[in-house]
Amino acid sequence: MGDTDVTTDAGAPWLIVGLGNPGPEYAMNRHNVGFMVADLLAERIGGRFKRAGKAQAQVIEGHIGPPGPANRRVILAKPMSYMNLSGGPVTALRDFYKVPTANIVAIHDELDIDYGVLRLKLGGGDNGHNGLKSMTKAMGSDYHRVRFGIGRPPGRMQVADFVLKDFSSAERKELDYLVDRASDAVECLVIEGLERAQGTYNS
């Protein structure tokens, strides 16, 4: 599937997954921007992450959107399995909460997009991203992605070293704003659909 909308079950919950690595040593890494967005969404929902039973993840259950038909039940999750094993926890949560795959949103860093640029899409390849690779192997590729650009590593720096380094001091000046914007994009996707969110936030 490409960047086209699909018919989702309006009554079904949404599973919003921020991808990253657990532990304070990874907290400000570029690879953890999905966790950063999930943490901000948690503040907006007004909940606190808690361990999700047998699933290796932290979750919050809540709602996004105004009262009425646009209100969406959401499960916000951060897999605690490390990035390259994200598929197991996400699949367990999908099955437990009975979430259609089309109602899953993965928030992740993206090397092939300039820093801070957002791209929203449905389906597609993993582009070498280990978190997406694990999710797709576990449940197929027909889930939504909110791709947060981090750019390519400078010079001859290896990709693995680049993504596991903290954002630079220059990048951090804009980071709060960009994480806020990415959180807005997730909310727009869930409430108003992919096409509207792409039109507003894809740049």
Which residues does residue 51 pair with via DSSP β-bridges, in sequence order? 58
Q: Residue 191: enclosing H or E segment and its boundaries?
A: helix 169-192
Q: Are the beta carbons of 113 and 149 closer than 8 angstroms?
A: yes
Q: Residue 21: enclosing H or E segment and its boundaries?
A: none
The closest alpha carbon to 85, from 22, 176, 149, belongs to 22
CA dist 35 and 32 (Å) reads 5
Q: Are the beta carbons of 145 and 108 closer than 8 angstroms?
A: yes
Q: Are the beta carbons of 90 and 79 closer than 8 angstroms?
A: yes
The closest alpha carbon to 178, from 30, 16, 8, belongs to 30
144 is catalytic: no
Which residues does residue 63 pair with via DSSP β-bridges, in sequence order? 73
Q: Which residue in 31, 108, 129, 144 is the catalytic one?
A: 31
119 backbone dihedrals φ, ψ, rounded to 5°: -140, 125
Active site residues: 31
